[in-house]
A and B are shown apart, each in its own frame.
Chain A
Amino acid sequence: MPADLFAQALNGLAYGVLLFLLSVGLTLIFGMLDVVNLAHGSFYMLGAYAGLSLIAATGNFWLALLAAPLAVGLIGALIERSCLRPLYRRPPLDQVLLTFGFIYLFEDLVKWIWGGRIRSIPPPDLFAGSVSLGGAIIPSYRLFVIVFGLVMAVLLYLLIERTRLGAVIRAGVFDAEMTAGMGINIHRVFTAVFAFGAALGGLSGVIAGPIQSAFPSMGVTILIPALIVVVVGGLGSLKGSLIGSLIIGQAETFGKAWLPEAAMLIIYVVMAGIVLIRPQGLFGRPLK
């Protein structure tokens, strides 16, 4: 039984880390721009498909892991400049509607370019097999995902907490208007943060590809758990996004293993429980 427990915990960790990579971009964008970016799942999907094509063209997973997020980040920057910026002064619902529209746009675009059929993405040769770890057998690629995700968490922490750019972002999250008043070009920071969040979405798509394959509705499918993570962890909080992802990852995995009939219910129960006790989420700013 303990081996079983450990194996499931690893499964939950791999899933949780994947959720983290996805939700951290979502929470950053929300925290900074006050925009609930429903198209974040689309960035995830675009990342997976861009990765698919790059791997097919070059045969190199690592190149795809680097280039696909850059491409998606560029798309994010274009969207922010051309469509989102004119809407900042409008009610939040307008922005939500805009990003909602992009879901359909990108889904059709993907079908147009890559077709509706599900496509698989091969893991890099280095991580093609499975390994035995403490009595549990786990695909080595998932082990890589766990390590990669945790390293990313540390790097993001250092970026946001220890650099000047991070200080500007934190200031922007706290009070965008005041930050602008301090002589920071807040518009440029907005674009950069949106692009960076989109790139993270694209990155998680490439990472998820070898596990979940690429299909046109993948972005919509993953959006709900990502939103749940953001609510549980607290809007705009990096730490919240990490802890929230790990909690939801474990809850869903053990739910499926032990209470398969109620697996989907469990993550909603966890969310409801946390929000009841802390309405702002685990690490969110207190609600005004």
Chain B
Amino acid sequence: MEQVTRRKFIGTAGFAAAGAAMGPWVRRAAAQSGPVKIGLVLPYSGVYAVLGESITQGMELVFARENWTVAGRKIEMIKEDDEMQPPVGIRKTEKLIDSDKVDILTGPVHSGILMGMRDKVHNSKTILIVSNAGADAISRERCSRWIFRTSFSNWQPNQPMGEWVAKNVAKDVFIAAPNYQAGKDQLGAFKETFVPAGGKLVGEDYPKLGETDYAPYLTKIRQSGAKAVYCFFSGSDAVNFVKQYDQFGLKQSIKLTGAGFLTEPDVLPAQGKSALGVITGHFYTPLLDNPTNQRFVKEFQAKFGGKMPDGFACQGYDTAEVIVRALKSVNGNTQDKARLVEVIEKSEFDSPRGRFRFDPKTHNVIQPYIYIREVKEVAGGLNNVPIDRVANVTDPGTGCTLPA
């Protein structure tokens, strides 16, 4: 042991001396043999920690499959807790880029953090693979050649639902979402296809984010004459809205529909039977019967104590898959950023959600399908059962001109 260390020391010293003598070319080669650093800006505390956890687990599943080594280089994940607060997320982003000098950055969950970190990422030419935040702008006027998104734009799960709800559920619809940008984006995308398909909005409401008592809104919904409700709520909002909707006896007479986050596995257990029959649109459900997904669900459950993967885990899985494939294509060379962007852009593989591709015009994922899912009791638990699907949902990318 002693001898090996000494010999290694002499070797390293000699190599370093040679490197110093021979100039930057050798030093770069030396750097390339170190680990590939992947920075994660995600919530690891607070109510949204469960999202950060799912995304991270999806990534770990892929990296573990590769024995944490790709093209001869170790994979090193550097996790930073953004606390779901833009100032914190931006500070952590700066730390990962400036002092850790990460090769690739991923995250965040919060759209506000994404918009806040965008310029830093763009100007420092850091490759960012967005693994959740859905701000439409990042695929539109604020797009960047250095930024990709494996998750979704807010527009994507909602736009196909407008037409679907008008045709299959009801024409008289009340819409609701929390009073912030993502809420209005999501309902806006719904309206884009709902109204042309003959739908009529009988009312709309924007309760505050984190509302705990929806009674006044539920009473309005009842009085509005709506035949269905379309909404976007997530986290604790989704639990309280769905539960109170049921408690007020609205579920029987007014069909509840929404964006997929309404009944994701992070909230479904707390909603319980109140969620039965709720219809939502989302790019993923663990019940998809393609072979990639079946393997994903099995391996995920085996690795994480029987936990059912959700859309967030799928986002993490695809993010890591993109990274692994790109690193293999460039043979571990992360210095040539432009080349790396080129190969990431061409990513194509079987994801649990279907065939994964980026839209080269926006660097946003083309959703192979938006699945229309209904909450049913299957195999002893509540689950989002796919009942229909819309293929190739691509964000319009208005105002994005890559390469920017």
Contact = CB atoms under 8 A, between A and B. Distances in A.
Tell me if chain B binds chain A: yes
Interface of A: 3-4, 7-8, 11-12, 14-15, 111, 116-120, 122-123, 129-130, 136-139, 141-142, 211-213, 215-218, 221-222, 253-254, 256-257, 260-261, 263-264
A14 B215 contact: yes
Nearest to B219: A7
Nearest to A253: B216
A108 B118 CA distance: 32
Contact of B248 (A139, A253, A263): A139
B219 A263 contact: no
Interface of B: 45-47, 49-50, 205-208, 210, 212-213, 215-217, 219-220, 222-223, 235-236, 239-240, 243-244, 247-249, 266-267, 270-272
Contacts of A122: 272
A211 B272 contact: no
B17 to A, nearest CB: 52
Given A117-B266, A138-B248, A141-B247, A217 B212 contact: no
Contacts of A222: 212
B244 A4 contact: no
Contacts of B247: 123, 130, 139, 141-142, 211
Nearest to B243: A120
Given A116-B49, A118-B47, A213-B243, A257 B220 contact: yes
Given A137-B249, A211-B244, A260-B205, A119 B216 contact: no
A4 B221 CA distance: 11
Contacts of A119: 270
Nearest to B215: A11
Given A11-B213, A117-B47, A260-B217, 15 more contacts: A4-B223, A7-B219, A7-B222, A12-B216, A116-B45, A116-B46, A116-B47, A117-B266, A117-B270, A122-B272, A139-B244, A139-B249, A213-B239, A213-B243, A260-B207
A120 B213 contact: no
Contacts of B270: 117-120, 213
B208 A215 contact: no
Contact of B216 (A8, A129, A130): A8
Nearest to A6: B219
Contacts of B215: 11, 14-15, 142, 253
Contacts of B206: 260-261
A265 to B, nearest CB: 11
B340 to A, nearest CB: 35
Contacts of A221: 210, 212
B360 to A, nearest CB: 38
A212 B215 CA distance: 11
Given A7-B219, A118-B47, A120-B243, A218 B212 contact: yes
Contacts of B217: 256-257, 260
8 interchain residue pairs of minimum CB distance = A11-B215, A139-B247, A256-B216, A130-B249, A212-B212, A120-B270, A257-B216, A118-B236
A143 to B, nearest CB: 11
A50 B80 CA distance: 32
B213 A212 contact: yes
Contacts of B219: 4, 7-8, 11, 136, 257
A256 B216 CA distance: 6
A256 B267 CA distance: 25
B375 to A, nearest CB: 15
B216 A137 contact: no
B264 to A, nearest CB: 12
Contacts of A12: 216
Nearest to A108: B45
20 contacts: A11-B213, A14-B215, A15-B213, A116-B45, A116-B50, A117-B50, A118-B235, A118-B270, A120-B243, A122-B272, A129-B249, A130-B249, A138-B248, A139-B247, A139-B249, A213-B240, A216-B47, A217-B210, A218-B212, A222-B212
A217 B267 CA distance: 16
A120 B47 contact: no
A120 B242 CA distance: 11
Contacts of B49: 116
A267 to B, nearest CB: 12
A8 B267 CA distance: 28
Contacts of B267: 118
Residue among B212, B235, B266, B267 facing the most chain A CB atoms (10 A cut-off): B212
